[in-house]
Chain A
Amino acid sequence: MIAKTLLASASALLLSVSPTTLAAESPTDPQIAHIAYTAGLLDVHAGEQALRQAADPAVRQFAQTMIRDHKAVNQQAIALLKKLGLRPEPNATSEKLTSQARDTAAHLGSLTGRSCDKAYIRNEVAFHRQVNEALSNSLIPNARNAQLKSLLENGLALFQAHQSHAEHLLSQLK
């Protein structure tokens, strides 16, 4: 149930959140950590939903990559937060991500075949674009801890590659 809720949230985020709403004004490190972790977790769940529904082999491989990569980054984040003694702080932004994603997951759940494949990838483009803008414009500039900032910067490079991959994939889907 929790997974379904998060999954729903992840997908809804993709279409309905504008870049400026993805991060609070001057978020603190605990808030930044929570936002980044939540975004990763939501995309893992979106990928898991895609694996249950998607048909196109390239789309399925993309979903597997999203699951593997975001899990790896989040594991790294957990290890860093533990080392720093930093407790992620739930906040309005991460709650919004979670609640808004629910609708999109429900929408994806109603689709099958190619329309589902395209909707998932289209959402992935929007999701990564929005998260990348939030990372660039708010989360990274406001991160105070150097190690957290570095992890976010590495995450940005990865998520930019994901965005480009998704954009290319979307252009290939008929």
Chain B
Amino acid sequence: MGRFQSLATAIAGAALLAPPPAGATPRGHVVVIANMKFGPVPPHLKAGDTIIWINKDIIRHTATAKDQTFHVDLPPGGSGKTVVPGPGRHAFYCVYHPTMTGLLSASK
């Protein structure tokens, strides 16, 4: 039971981490903000995927691309959605708390 469960978990985890096949439909991802930090950004993002930003802090934040390709206002305890922009690296930050930063990398 334990071994089977571990194997199943490993396979499921590998499936989540693996890059999507070419031509796959856009996928959804989650980035959590907590304690004044952006959580990990999922790997293997593709242009057109959706990111749901969940703000667990008690203060307002934003997720804003420095190249202005996306921006979403995130009320305390709220969430918002953006679309992963074109391929490349997109640095982002919170406009209210500029020390909060992150980077997402997208492929075609």
Contact = CB atoms under 8 A, between A and B. Distances in A.
A165 B59 contact: no
Contacts of B37: 157
B73 to A, nearest CB: 12
Q: Is the interface of B mostly helix, strand, loop or mixed?
A: loop
B10 to A, nearest CB: 34
Interface in B31-89: 35-37, 57-60, 76
Looking at B37, B58, B97, the one whose CB has the most chain A CB atoms below 10 A away is B58
B100 interface: yes
A131 interface: no
A161 B36 contact: yes
B2 interface: no
A157 B58 contact: no
B97 A154 contact: no
A161 B58 contact: no
Q: Is the interface of A mostly helix, strand, loop or mixed?
A: helix
Given A68-B59, A76-B58, A157 B36 contact: yes
A121 to B, nearest CB: 14
Given A161-B97, A161-B100, A165-B98, A68 B60 contact: yes
A158 B56 CA distance: 13
20 contacts: A65-B96, A65-B97, A68-B59, A68-B60, A69-B59, A69-B60, A69-B96, A72-B59, A72-B76, A76-B58, A154-B58, A157-B35, A157-B36, A157-B37, A158-B59, A161-B100, A162-B97, A165-B98, A165-B99, A168-B98
Given A65-B96, A69-B59, A157-B35, 7 more contacts: A61-B96, A68-B59, A68-B60, A73-B58, A76-B58, A158-B59, A168-B99
Interface of A: 61, 65, 68-69, 72-73, 76, 154, 157-158, 160-162, 164-165, 168
